């Protein structure tokens, strides 16, 4: 039962990969800046966080790229030119995420092993003793009910929980591609995550996707003694260790999940956003119909 609101104002966005599936484009442009319609992918994530009440955001990358930092800063020359040209609607888009949150950048320690847990370790001192949202930048979500707000509501509805992990239902026969969430009976209390099990090895049809909320107790489990793979250190190792000692909740996304970690899924996300946006919906439908004729 809820007794008090638990403040969550910080978010850590993990974007520490090299974008290998988007090479050669990502030789010069960081993956999080690849566009979905007119906005870069990172724009949608930051906007989601801000609308959910997050005011401090840090992006963890292998290399701090000035392009991403510049995107969230004012460009006085550009804004003045748009004002002079009376391009008000474009100016509003350019300025949409200026000054909406404190956005910082952290370079992942290159001496740490590969994996999502190592990226979080690099932000450990920044997180401090605060509750925080953890975001995987490749996971794009569409919902009329803000995905981060969904987690915040669950987190505050049960103050005995130390975290809430976002999940998504998939066809059971595809479970060998994902980390599958096991829960205690019919409850939403997580017991473990099984990495890419065969269908006969799990009854679960729910996989974790990239939105999580944790109390600072999670930081106690960012320890390499919990590593399962000697070459890599993944956050799921920490999730499993923490679930043995603390109450972690699983929340199924009310909405649609699209990974943007590869070109074809980035295209899917672009079409999905285009169809949802009144400014572009009819044009996108027309393009789809044009290509359907080519297929026929």
Element (H, E) at 106: strand 102-107
b vs e for 50-70, b when ≥16 Cβ sit within 10 Å of the residue's Cβ? bebebebbbbbbbeebeebee
> What is the pairing mode between strands 56-61 and 102-107?
parallel
Distance CA 32, CA 39 (A): 10
pLDDT value at position 222?
92
Architecture field, domain 10-164+207-261: Alpha-Beta Complex (3.90)
Of these ranges, 95-99, 148-152, 156-160, 182-186, the one predicted with the greatest mean pLDDT is: 148-152
d(CA 179, CA 194): 5
- Tokens 């008090």 belong to which residue? 4
Higher pLDDT, 49 or 260: 49
Tell me the pLDDT tens digit for each residue of 13-33.
998 677 788 889 888 888 889
Query: φ, ψ for residue 140 (rounded to 5)?
Result: -100, 135
Question: How many whole angstroms separate alpha carbon 261 and alpha carbon 256?
Answer: 16
Q: Are 255 and 261 in contact (CB under 8 A)?
A: no
By C-alpha distance, which of 189, 180, 289, 205 is closest to 248? 189
Provide the 3-class DSSP secondary structure of residue 123: coil
- CB 235 within 8 Å of CB 134: yes
Q: What is the reported pLDDT for 6?
A: 86
Domain spans, the chain = 10-164+207-261
Token digits for 132?
């925080």
Which pLDDT band, with edges at 50, 70 and 90, does 1 fall under? very low
Pairwise CA distance, residues 126 & 134, whole Å:
13
Q: Work out the end-to-end distance of the chain between its first and last CA atoms, rounded to an integer number of angstroms.
A: 56
Measure Cα distances from 12 to 35, 64, 198 in Å.
21, 15, 32
Which CA distances in Å does 59 have to 13, 48, 120, 175, 216?
Answer: 5, 15, 10, 30, 18
pLDDT tens sequence across 210-267 = 999 999 999 999 988 888 776 788 899 999 999 999 999 999 999 999 988 899 999 9
Q: How many CB atoms lie within 10 A of CB 17?
A: 20
The per-residue pLDDT for 4 is 63
Q: Are strands 10-14 and 56-61 parallel, antiparallel or unpaired?
A: parallel
């Amino acid at each position: 039962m809820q007794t008090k609101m638990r403040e969550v104002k910080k978010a850590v966005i993990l974007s520490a990969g090299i974008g290998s599936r988007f090479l050669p484009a990502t030789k010069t442009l960081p993956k999080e800046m690849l566009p979905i319609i007119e906005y870069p992918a990172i724009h949608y994530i930051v906007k989601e966080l801000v609308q959910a009440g997050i005011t401090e955001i840090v992006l963890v990358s292998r290399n701090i790229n000035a392009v991403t930092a510049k995107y969230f800063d004012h460009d006085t020359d550009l804004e003045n030119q748009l004002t002079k040209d009376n391009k008000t609607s474009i100016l509003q888009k350019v300025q949409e995420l200026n000054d909406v949150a404190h956005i910082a950048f952290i370079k992942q320690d290159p001496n740490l092993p590969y994996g999502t847990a190592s990226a979080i370790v690099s932000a450990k001192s920044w997180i401090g003793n605060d509750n925080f949202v953890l975001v995987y930048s490749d996971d794009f979500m569409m919902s009329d009910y803000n995905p981060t707000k969904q987690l915040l509501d669950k987190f505050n509805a049960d103050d005995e929980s130390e975290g809430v992990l976002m999940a998504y239902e998939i066809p059971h026969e595809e479970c060998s591609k994902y980390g599958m969430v096991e829960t205690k009976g019919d409850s939403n209390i997580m017991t473990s995550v099984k990495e890419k099990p065969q269908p006969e090895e799990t009854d679960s049809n729910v996989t974790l996707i990239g939105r999580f909320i944790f109390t600072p107790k999670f930081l106690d489990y960012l320890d390499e003694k919990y590593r399962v793979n000697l070459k890599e250190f993944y956050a799921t190792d920490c999730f499993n260790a923490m679930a043995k000692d603390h109450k972690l909740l699983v929340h199924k996304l009310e909405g649609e999940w699209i990974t943007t970690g590869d070109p074809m899924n980035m295209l899917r996300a672009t079409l999905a956003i285009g169809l949802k946006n009144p400014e572009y919906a009819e044009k996108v439908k027309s393009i789809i119909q044009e290509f359907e004729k080519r297929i026929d």
